[in-house]
Amino acid sequence: MKHTLIALAVLGVTSGLAQAQEVVKIGHVGPLTGNIAHLGKDNENGARLAIEEYNAKGVTIGGKKVTFQLVGEDDAADPKTGNIVAQRLVDAGVKGVVGHLNSGTTIPASRIYNQAGVPMISPSSTNVTLTNQGFATVFRTMANDAQQGSVIGKYAATKIGKTVAIIDDRTAYGQGLADEVDKAVKAAGGRVSSREFTNNQATDFLAILTKIKSQKPDVIVYTGMDAQGGPMLKQVKQLGITAKFVTGDGGCTPEFIKLAGTAISDAAFCTQAGLPLDQIADKTFKDRFKKRFGADVQIYAPYSYDAAAAIIEGMKAANSSDPAKYLPFLKKVDFQGVTGEVAFDAKGDTKYGAITMYQFKDGAWVALK
């Protein structure tokens, strides 16, 4: 009996060595092509860094040493593609997913992950609907648009003006955030002079800006991504409009500043769901990221890092990488991530969502107190 045990143990060890390590696949989805591919890559790199660092430290789950593997997929910011790659990830047997980037792709895909019972943590989809669907497998690591919109609306209607024009890019994200801004402006006693719309492929906004100009608002709020926001600010100046310009987290990037060129001034503001990069808990994150990928953090890479970390922490707590087994533990995780403390409320929203307002000063976005 003793001999067989030893034999089994030896067998176990040798087979363990033969298999090297157990591989646990974690999916990541974001747009890696198309006009916000730079943000998709940013998120993917965040998750990749988390996985590489956990692998380097070594994680043991269920008595076995585990190697995490990132399976990156491209949804091109397109809901249809998003669903296809979500299904592909589920079929490939991923144990958890970090993503997607856009609310517009995350919301439809979340149904697929929920049906398959695969936990999904978005590091950047801020649309309120995402966590209101009642899916147990859905989480996010940053504040949602209701919080962000109310900060933007209140700031625009009380601190820097009274009349506000709102432009959105007709994506789930842009539209949802614009609705929240609209509500908040009115709640703060301001007036919405007009709601205008563009799309996430456009480069020319002169027509809608000319219309806005005729209504003379104090503030123009744009809810969309940096790829449109930068050129839009340029055109605001081109038309001689003096209104302040506020954009949401999609425009709160170094890229926005580059694209706006000389048009950007201290009349430009942006918000980010989360803390500024130099205020996040882990001060060395920025440098580790730069060293590994040779690129600067755009926006949500730290939140993507924490999303991947949360999945791994959940698995560690459950001592299992089986989604059904670690999901209850994922709901209860509470750990120190790179952005600060990470924990989720009953709906899957982050418990510690912060919103930071930035103003453009001396070539960069500077956090306002």
166 near another protein (CB under 8 A): no
Phi first, then psi: give them for residue 360, nearest 5 degrees: -75, 125
Per-residue contact flags (x/-) with another protein for residues 125 to 164, judged by CB under 8 A: ----------------------------------------
Question: What angle do the packed helices 323-332 and 301-318 form, to 10 degrees?
Answer: 110
Out of 14, 19, 33, 133, the only residue in the binding site for another protein (CB under 8 A) is 33
User: Hey, what are 184's tokens?
Assistant: 């908040």
267 near another protein (CB under 8 A): no
Per-residue contact flags (x/-) with another protein for residues 230 to 249, judged by CB under 8 A: xx--xx-xxxx---------
262 near another protein (CB under 8 A): yes
In degrees, rounded to 5, the angle at the alpha carbon of residue 17 between the alpha carbons of residues 5 and 324 is 85
196 near another protein (CB under 8 A): yes
CA of residue 27 relative to chain centroid, distance:
15
**Tell me, what DSSP letter sits at residue 128?**
T
Q: Which is nearer to another protein, 79 or 314 (CB)?
A: 79
Using alpha carbons, list the distances in angstroms from residue 220 to 155, 157, 225, 264. 12, 11, 15, 14
188 near another protein (CB under 8 A): no
Using CA atoms, how far apart are residues 342 and 330, in angstroms rounded to an integer? 11
105 near another protein (CB under 8 A): no
183 near another protein (CB under 8 A): no
37 near another protein (CB under 8 A): yes
CA dihedral 274, 277, 279, 284 (to 10 degrees): 130
201-230 positions binding another protein, by CB under 8 A: 201-204, 206-208, 210-211, 213-214, 226-227, 230
Classify each residue of 259-269 as buried b or exposed e, where b means 16 or more C-beta atoms within 10 Å of its C-beta.
Answer: bbeebbeebbb
Taking the complex as a whole, the smallest distance from the CB of residue 90 to another protein amounts, in Å, to 26
Site for another protein, rule CB under 8 A: 32-35, 37-38, 41, 170, 191, 193-199, 201-204, 206-208, 210-211, 213-214, 226-227, 230-231, 234-235, 237-240, 255, 258-259, 261-263
